Amino acid sequence: MNNTALNKVEETLAHQEQQINDLSDMVITQGRDIEALKKQIRKLQDKISSSAEDNNNEKPLSATEYAARNKPPHY
**52-69 per-position pLDDT tens digit:** 776 666 677 788 887 887
DSSP string, 44-70: HHHHHHHHHHHHHHSPPPPHHHHHHHT
Q: How high is the pLDDT of residue 55?
A: 67
The answer, as to whether pTM is greater than 0.85, is: no
Q: Whole-angstrom Cα distance, residue 43 to residue 41? A: 5
Task: Region of 60 please: left (phi>0), alpha (psi -120 to 50) or beta.
Answer: beta
